[in-house]
Structure 1
């Protein structure tokens, strides 16, 4: 058994609780795994990833699997709390995996699990369309005929089957999962498995012909880029009470690595998978069946509601609100806050480190966590304008949206709330001395002030565009650029406020909108990089009807320091009136 234990140890680096890395609670958390000597954790083929079905391609060569001894109840050897996960070691050379488009046969060594904390903080490693499942099970297999050392340097040396796990309370507790969870413990001593359990018992009725495939890595140090990943589409359903035993009995929680950038890799699917249309919606009526005038017909759409965005802000009709105080921007100066930059096929999106950047004040009534920011632009023609919001019937060349959710709420909770999301909108136009594209009129409430951006920061940002030219392309953002750098010295004290929606499907009416009065000034040539490099243009939704909503504004000079409880009261009153 020493040989088997050595293989498992080398493959996953999880032999005991004394390892020099962790998920939480030590110096070498996932963001620092790249610093581990000899590790590959900063490579270009890292796992896990967020699988976006609309960006996946069918591969007809991904045929059905053949699983040897998956139904045998004699193959489980022991179960161990490694200090990082719960791992079931299989008996040597008894379980094999063939077919499925794999280039060779593989011998399964072990399976293990990843989980979060509770039902409200799930812990799968792979995401599908940004959604994290409750748990994930990995079946790890070594390519037949390879030594462990060879497998760890072979690009196809290891195959891992990933099974997403969802909780349910609609079915009875299954006997196999009940037996398995009865052996969960905080002790790191292996326990022999004498219960009659098979891999098939744990997998249940998952359709094994439907799966995603991509080339990736181990998801723990040393993160060797040697894994052919198979992630099955259908989840395993397990009773919620049994799943909660994983963090409760092991005293381990949030044992998962965050998703990694695809960096140009393509995710494929087996022919049995029904993929959504690559672009279920678009900005141009003649490019797809669901242009803006048809967004309302999309499944789950709110795009025909009475509180839609963007809007045309008419300054003479807006009302001054002295209760809109100044904002507090937390970690907007952090030059390492941007995690990924992505070409979504509709925009360029920059994803921030989770839970780092926050916004409060400004009459919001809550603290909001910044999730991402993205851009709306026009085309390469001189004088073209592509902002979503209009100011006194004038459209600006570009607009930035900084998207936030209410702190300590899930994204689903935020989308269901009338004020679960908040978005900061900044107009963008050409800086002085560069070719100006249709300069917007100066807002009428205040005289224009200088708002020059950091040109070097915008240059760093647009330098990534050559790496994300294809839809779905995603790369790690490693430049030292902060939100403050991109916003420059634009006036953040004067702004408009109204209750609205997301400006893309499903157009959830959950957004507290802040649109700043003054524009960010950016070099015109850098602005042109957006339509030139991204190969799509005029990415903005037309203005929507106001439907009797009131737009308020803040003028910095006249805004008093209002107690927080009054701001909360006013926000609640506005929400009541506008819903």
Structure 2
């Protein structure tokens, strides 16, 4: 590398994948992972204007000033200078003062200096930094531009000193090829180690990489660099349409660099607004809620578009123990990786519940009379007000409501999610009541001996609820980094005893696609930890009222064939006679 270029190259390292000059941070495997970036000296990573974020399309406000961009030399095939492996990403350095960005609602002209990438791993776990309505794309490309006339130091302290264009990257259909991306990713084999650099000799342009993405459709918000020091100096543009790249070429990034999961989790919006360009059609706004603060409270859910909430197979229901019919086909479940302490991906505050999303394709449920193998997608919670005597389970047993309820949601493995929502048994939900571990029952109706057989599992629940402080804002999410399994949360609940009926999702659109399993024995959780759900999330009474059973039947597992207490006494008496 020419000495005259070295100082400039080091300055460029300050930007977004930034602080390559510092080895004190990482995505995984060191002391300063993303959840600890705020403790780095001089860091702004704990600020209120951090990036990336989850873009909730229904809340994006159309801004008529977000007109078309003017992109200077984006079509030039002579502006790529070199590719480097920074140890955090792959970055392409551009020729100095050749590429510019204006328009698009930006208040200045910006000089484009580099672009880089974020990805997951070679096993197809997604790795975009921004998400859209909770969806994470496989990769994301960031084109970084500096406000013209500012030095690096000036730009990082100017609220609009840096403009970043973010492009999602998605996989094309199998068999499709791209000569441009094949040529570009061919350089990765020459930068397999941190700090390695290779000159770009192919005639490739930025426009070639972007392809036919509609550049008039984008979102805009004020944010930060997504790596330390996370300077809050970025005007973010995130384009709606993804770049299409063949899957095998995308896989070259983690395979050649051996860098994995190089993305920061989404950050709190903290009152910021996300704007949409006029070319993006407004998202339909059909806000629903559990109380009366919106247009669609539970009694009006059936008025929502494409709603099934007025059907005759709705959930939750009141389970009458005496009416439940014994079904000997309701055998034991088989749980795959329920004991794995590394299946939880992230926890999110949806605005309606706290939901834990699991890693794709790891956890499964079968048996239990289901007839199919189901992939476990997520679990979430329903609760009441947070007072000592609060109740908030969705299902009730003999009209008794528990303080909380946990739902583990599973999808038939042979179906897509859309197909599963249309099939009468496309989804299987495991429902667990939750009550205080201190013996103060707020509900009833479960197993008559649950107080003796259920025990407290404070440590796993303390670990799980410790994440709630990080998701106080709606749409905020936090990556799960602690070792904790689903089995840890369920504890020693007797899973051989349960009720079964056919029902629906308990939130709009209330698709009647659910095989419900409601376990008789509750999970015991410390009362103070239970209170953290409403207190941290900031909303209360997140449960749907029970629905009419109509002509449906509720089934129950067969009575235990094990000897009861009286039979044991008789058997022991017999043993004593024979012993004599």
Q: TM-score, normalised by structure 2?
A: 0.73
Rg larger for: 2
Q: Deviations over 1:437-484 (max 9, x none)?
A: xx54444x52462779799989x969979984x754667999999999
Deviation, 1:92, is: 0.8
Which of residues 6, 9, 13 in structure 2 aligns to 1:5? 9
- Alpha-carbon separation, structure 2, partners of 1:492 and 1:235: 44
Aligned to 1:147: 151
Aligned to 1:233: 240
Distance 1:51 1:307, change over 3 A: same
Contact 1:378 1:398 in 2 (8 A): no
Deviation, 1:18, is: 10
Deviation, 1:385, is: 6.0
Aligned to 1:403: 408
Secondary structure of 1:150's partner? helix
Instruction: Say if 2:253 is the partner of 1:268.
Output: no
- Alpha-carbon separation, structure 2, partners of 1:213 and 1:401: 36
Deviation, 1:89, is: 0.9
**Structure 1: gaps (5+ residues):** 561-579
Secondary structure of 2:181's partner? helix
Aligned to 2:170: 166
Instruction: Say if 2:80 is the partner of 1:76.
Output: yes
Secondary structure of 2:381's partner? strand
- Alpha-carbon separation, structure 1, partners of 2:126 and 2:470: 35
Deviation, 1:113, is: 1.7
Secondary structure of 1:70's partner? coil
- Alpha-carbon separation, structure 2, partners of 1:415 and 1:47: 34
- Alpha-carbon separation, structure 2, partners of 1:160 and 1:425: 45
Secondary structure of 1:446's partner? coil
Distance 1:241 1:528, change over 3 A: closer
Aligned to 1:209: 216
- Alpha-carbon separation, structure 1, partners of 2:386 and 2:34: 40
Instruction: Say if 2:332 is the partner of 1:324.
Output: yes
- Alpha-carbon separation, structure 1, partners of 2:467 and 2:450: 30
Q: Deviations over 1:89-146 (max 9, x none)?
A: 1111222222333343322110112223358423222211121222211101122232
Mean Cα displacement is larger for which, 70-79 or 219-228? 219-228
- Alpha-carbon separation, structure 2, partners of 1:206 and 1:149: 33
Contact 1:331 1:358 in 2 (8 A): no
Aligned to 1:449: 451
Aligned to 2:92: 88
Instruction: Say if 2:195 is the partner of 1:191.
Output: no
Superposed counterparts of 1:24-423, under 5 Å: 24=28, 29-31=33-35, 33=37, 36=40, 38-118=42-122, 120-169=124-173, 173-187=177-191, 189-248=196-255, 250-252=256-258, 254-272=260-278, 273-283=280-290, 287-288=294-295, 295=302, 298-299=305-306, 309-316=315-322, 317-319=324-326, 323-324=331-332, 340=347, 342=349, 344-345=350-351, 347-351=352-356, 371-377=378-384, 386-392=392-398, 394-396=399-401, 398-403=403-408, 412=417, 422-423=429-430
- Alpha-carbon separation, structure 2, partners of 1:179 and 1:327: 45
Mean Cα displacement is larger for which, 110-119 or 225-234? 110-119
Contact 1:69 1:95 in 2 (8 A): yes
Distance 1:253 1:559, change over 3 A: farther
- Alpha-carbon separation, structure 2, partners of 1:558 and 1:362: 21
Deviation, 1:553, is: 3.6
Q: TM-score, normalised by structure 1?
A: 0.73
Mean Cα displacement is larger for which, 275-284 or 104-113? 275-284
Secondary structure of 1:182's partner? helix
* Root-mean-square deviation over aligned CA pairs: 5.3
Secondary structure of 1:224's partner? coil
- Alpha-carbon separation, structure 2, partners of 1:559 and 1:136: 61
Q: Deviations over 1:514-552 (max 9, x none)?
A: 434355588699869949984675641543647656533
Aligned to 1:517: 520
Contact 1:307 1:500 in 2 (8 A): yes
Aligned to 1:570: none
Distance 1:476 1:61, change over 3 A: farther
Distance 1:159 1:449, change over 3 A: same
What is the number of residues matched between the two proteins?
547
Secondary structure of 2:191's partner? coil
Secondary structure of 2:82's partner? strand
Distance 1:252 1:532, change over 3 A: closer
Distance 1:6 1:294, change over 3 A: same
Deviation, 1:426, is: 1.3
- Alpha-carbon separation, structure 1, partners of 2:60 and 2:503: 32
- Alpha-carbon separation, structure 2, partners of 1:22 and 1:179: 29
Distance 1:523 1:238, change over 3 A: closer
